[in-house]
Amino acid sequence: MLVLGVDPGLTRCGLGVVDGGPGQQTSLVEVGVLRTPAADDVAARLWALERGVGEWLDRHHPDAVAVERVFSQANVRTVMGTAQAGAVAIVSAARRGLPVALYTPSEVKASVSGSGRADKTQVTFMVSRLLGLSDPPRPADAADALALALCHLSRGPALARMRAARQAAAAAGRSLR
Amino acid sequence: MLVLGVDPGLTRCGLGVVDGGPGQQTSLVEVGVLRTPAADDVAARLWALERGVGEWLDRHHPDAVAVERVFSQANVRTVMGTAQAGAVAIVSAARRGLPVALYTPSEVKASVSGSGRADKTQVTFMVSRLLGLSDPPRPADAADALALALCHLSRGPALARMRAARQAAAAAGRSLR
C-alpha cells in the first residue's frame, strides 16, 4: 500500500511517499518539499502548490493520502496558511477519488514514537528507523510528511474498520457511541 | 465587467455575481449559497465546494473573483473552515487564469457603506441600494458575497493601477514604498 503524507504549508509543503503493509518492510519511495515564494500573492502560491501536489499524485498513484489536521495554535497567521495549503492537498486527492485521512501532530508523534509530545529529533530518528534509512531523510523538514504517511500505514486500517463498523451499526439502527 | 464575490465557508459558501463598470449601472446577475453537510468529512465537503464554485465560474466567466480575506478571529475552528473553503475558491479561479482579489470584512464594509464597522443590516441595505434591488437579496447570507463583488468593482481598478505602478517602479530600480 502506497501512502502520500502531506505536511502542508504555503512556504514549505513537505511530501513523502512510503510503501508498506502487513508483514512487509516499510520503505521510503520519495520525499521532498514544495516551496512557493513569499513575495507571490496567495492565489499564485496555492495554484503552484496544487500543480506540485498533482504531479506527485499522478506520478505515484498512492492508495491513500494523509494530511496534517490543522489544530488550534497560538499564531493565527500560520494556521491560515497551513489550512489553505492543506485544503489544496485534500481537494487534489479527493478530486482523484483517493481516500484522505487527517491526523493531528500529536497523533502522528504518538504513532511513530510512542509519545504525543515527542520532539523533532525523536520523530526524525524514528522515521529513519521505521524506514530502515542509515541517515535521516533529506530534506529534514520533510520528515513530518513521512511521519504522517507512516502514521496512516499503522492506523489507517484500524480506523477504516471502525468507520465501517459504525456505518454498519448506524444502518442497523444502533449506535456504537 | 463581471465580478464573482465569494464569502467562503464549509457549511455555507455565499456566491454573488455582479456586472458593472465606469458609467454603467451596477446590476445583480446571480446570487446563491453552496451548502455542504456537516456530517460529511472535510475532503468530501471541500470537493463538493470545488465542483460548485467551478460550475459558477464556468457558467458566468467572470473577469475577476473577490474572496474574503480570512483575518484573525476569536474562534480558530471557524477560521480554519473559512480558510479551507477560501483556498478552494481561490485555486479554482487561479487555475482558470482569473485574477483573484482578497478583501478583509472591514474593507468590504467600508467600501459599500462608508464604515468598516457597519453591521449586517447596513451592509444588506447598501448592497440592495447599490444594485437597485427593491427587496434585499435572497438568500440573506449571500449579501456578503455581493458586497465583496461590489467592493472589487469599486476598488479593483485603483488597486490594479497601484500594482502596475509599483511593478513599473520596481522594474526601473526605484520603490514607491
Q: Does domain A2-171 have CATH number 3.30.420.10?
A: yes
* A4, A68, A76, A175, best to mutate vs chain B, most B CBs in 10 Å: A76
From first to last of the 177 residues of chain B, give the pLDDT tens digit. Answer: 999 999 999 999 999 999 998 778 899 999 999 999 999 999 999 999 999 999 999 999 999 999 999 876 657 777 888 999 999 999 999 999 999 999 999 999 999 999 999 999 999 999 999 999 999 998 887 999 999 999 999 986 666 777 777 777 777 765 544
Question: Does pLDDT of A177 surpass 70?
Answer: no
The residue with cell 510528511 is: A145
Q: In whole angstroms, what is the distance from residue A117 CA to residue A106 CA?
A: 6
Could you tell me if A144 and A12 are in contact, meaning their C-beta atoms sit under 8 angstroms apart? no
A93 interaction partners in chain B (CB closer than 8 Å): 43
In A, what residues contact B, Cβ < 8 A? 41-44, 46-47, 50, 70, 72-73, 76-77, 79-80, 83-88, 90-91, 93-95, 100, 102
Q: In whole angstroms, what is the distance from residue B127 CA to residue B56 CA?
A: 20
Name the residue facing B90 among A42, A72, A76 (closest C-beta): A42
What is the interface pTM, i.e. ipTM, of the complex?
0.82
B141 is catalytic: yes
pLDDT in tens, A8-53: 999 999 999 999 987 788 999 999 999 999 999 999 999 999 999 9
The residue of chain B nearest to residue A70, with distances taken between CA atoms, is B80
* A46, A53, A82, A88, best to mutate vs chain B, most B CBs in 10 Å: A46
List of long-range contacts for B102-107, beta carbons under 8 Å, 24+ apart: B102/A42, B102/B66, B102/B67, B102/B68, B102/B69, B103/B66, B103/B67, B103/B68, B103/B69, B103/B148, B103/B151, B103/B152, B103/B155, B104/B68, B104/B69, B104/B71, B105/B68, B105/B71, B107/B69, B107/B151, B107/B155
A170 interaction partners in chain B (CB closer than 8 Å): none
Catalytic residue among A30, A68, A107, A119: A68
* Burial state string for A19-31 with b = 16 or more CB within 10 A and e = fewer than 16: bbeeeeebebbeb
Distance from CA of B88 to the nearest CA of A (A): 6
Interface size between A and B, measured as CB pairs under 8 A: 79
B41 is catalytic: no
The residue with cell 444594485 is: B131
Q: In whole angstroms, what is the distance from residue A56 CA to residue A48 CA?
A: 13
Q: What pLDDT is recorded for position A108?
A: 95
Q: In whole angstroms, what is the distance from residue B80 CA to residue B101 CA?
A: 19
B7 is catalytic: yes
Domain boundaries, chain B: 2-171
Q: What pLDDT is recorded for position A72?
A: 62
